[in-house]
Amino acid sequence: MGLGVRAAPFTYVAHALAVVAAAMVLYWCIHFRGGLAFEAANKNLIFNVHPVLMLIGFIILGSEAIMVYKVLPTVNHDTTKLIHLILHAIALVLGAVGIYCAFKNHNETGIANLYSLHSWLGIGTISLYGIQWIFGFLAFFFPKAAPNVRKSALPWHALLGIFVYILALATAELGFLEKLTFLQSSGIDKYGPESFLVNFTALVVVLFGASVVVAAVAPARLEEPQGYAPIPEN
């Protein structure tokens, strides 16, 4: 982007905001919403796994995968690539489990599935995320495309990845709004502590996501012409 800034400070800010956001979503789901469970008579506890896994598992681990080339710029490129694809795979699996918990809660309490914009964008996002992972694996890891193909595919991989990442952030914002709207309709105070906690968590996620995107597009070192890690020619 020709910004003349290094990625490193943005990765520090992102890590700090990730810890804050993770603490806030856990405090919300445990203190205000009663805790987490995969099996329970209180079906709300099954739902609570959803925001925790989507934020900490899907978004935060996915963010670490995106930033790894900037967090560990001096580490061997094959190693950072391996960390990148493993972290994205874990994020994808935890995201799928998180989505499963939302369906499980709906199905065990008779709530309709897949009618909201949150659910539509969410299904679209995790599907694109999976497709992006498979193409990335085939093109850049195994069996690996020819060097000139990889070279021309890399900017697209990064651009589509950032697009899917921003979709994931937008879906999270929609999720916070949707859940809080339901809670406020059932009587919680619109200006009370839980409403403020959820809205501020959503704002922290926006700032976190912006830091991750800037860290992803900014160069690891200022002398580099652009932000993407170079592909070795071997």
Binding site for its own copies (CB under 8 A): 1-4, 112, 115-118, 120-121, 152, 155-156, 158-159, 163, 166-167, 169-170, 173-174, 176-178, 180-182, 184-185, 190-191, 195, 198-199, 202-203, 206, 210, 214, 226, 228
- Please say which residue, 19 or 117, places its beta carbon nearer to its own copies: 117
CB 177 within 8 A of CB 166: no
- Please say which residue, 145 or 173, places its beta carbon nearer to its own copies: 173
Closest among 57, 50, 66 to 164, alpha carbons compared: 66
At its nearest, how many Å lie between its own copies and the CB of residue 210?
A: 6
- Please say which residue, 76 or 199, places its beta carbon nearer to its own copies: 199
Instruction: List Cβ neighbours of 21 (8 Å cut-off, separation of 6 or more).
Output: 55, 60, 201, 204, 205, 208
At its nearest, how many Å lie between its own copies and the CB of residue 37?
A: 26
Closest among 58, 176, 80 to 128, alpha carbons compared: 58
Distance (Å, rounded) from C-alpha 79 to C-alpha 70?
A: 13
At its nearest, how many Å lie between its own copies and the CB of residue 226?
A: 6
- Please say which residue, 24 or 94, places its beta carbon nearer to its own copies: 24
- How many of the other CB atoms lie within 10 Å of CB of 169? 20
